[in-house]
């Protein structure tokens, strides 16, 4: 599979179960200093731990 170039893991909005858009992720990172993870999570419909991973760039690392 790998030798034939069939291994593909979609990132970001291309993933089928994605709840966020690239602009949402940028907004989360911009507001991380002024709002709590819990408030950001409620605003975007995700968990607070996922907000933390976005801010620490463990998730959505391909966005600058």
CB neighbours of residue 47 within 10 Å: 13
For the cut 90, the answer to whether the pLDDT of residue 15 exceeds it is no
Q: What is the mean pLDDT of residues 42-51?
A: 96
pTM for the model stands at 0.81
Q: What is the mean pLDDT of residues 10-38?
A: 92
pLDDT of residue 60: 94
3-state SS, one letter per residue, for the chain: CCCCCCCCCCCHHHCCCCCCCHHHHHHHHHCCCCCCHHHHHHHHCCCHHHHHHHHCCCCCCCCC
pLDDT of residue 24: 96
Between CA 46 and CA 37 the distance in angstroms is 10
Confidence of residue 27 (pLDDT cuts 50, 70, 90): very high
For the cut 90, the answer to whether the pLDDT of residue 11 exceeds it is no
> Tokens representing 9?
């893991």
């Amino acid at each position: 599979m790998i030798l034939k170039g069939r291994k593909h893991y979609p990132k970001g909005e291309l993933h089928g179960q994605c709840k966020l858009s690239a602009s949402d992720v940028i907004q989360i990172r911009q507001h991380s200093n002024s709002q709590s993870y819990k408030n950001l999570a409620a605003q975007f419909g995700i968990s607070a731990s996922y907000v933390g991973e976005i801010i620490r760039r463990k998730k959505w690392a391909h966005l600058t």
